[in-house]
Amino acid sequence: MGKCSKCACRVIAGAEHLPPPNWKEKKQLGERLEQGYRLACQLWIEHDIELAQDDLPAPAAATAGTVAAATDSVGA
Ligand code: FES
């Protein structure tokens, strides 16, 4: 995990609850970190956050998705 960037998401809300990007995110995302992107596989979610994944591969790219994660939905 942390090698393919397929889980790259833009944080819409709740970024203040996330830890600083780790070395894998820095390596994979580069300048996109400054645009609010994170690697979802590298995040340990303890608070509600809202993510948008707008670089989905075809055919899912036709509809950009928004995902909201809640702590109670992951059993934390
Ligand atoms: S970087 Fe590959 S699943 Fe997150």
pLDDT tens, 14-68? 999 999 999 999 999 999 999 999 999 999 999 999 999 975 555 544 445 555 5
Question: What spacing in Å lies between the alpha carbon of 25 and ligand 1's midpoint?
Answer: 9
d(CA 50, CA 14): 7
Tokens of 44: 């340990």
For ligand 1, the distance from its centroid to the CA atom of residue 41, given in whole angstroms, is 5
Answer for the pair 53, 67: CB distance below 8 angstroms, yes or no: yes
pTM of the shown model: 0.73
Model confidence at 70, pLDDT cuts 50, 70, 90, reads: low
Ligand 1 pocket, residue 39 CB under 6 Å? yes
Structure tokens at 15: 């970024």
Verify whether ligand 1 is closer than 6 Å to residue 27 (CB atom): no
Q: Is the dihedral of CA 41, 17, 36, 19 positive or negative?
A: negative
CA of 72 to the centre of ligand 1 (A): 23
**pLDDT over 90 at 1, yes or no:** no
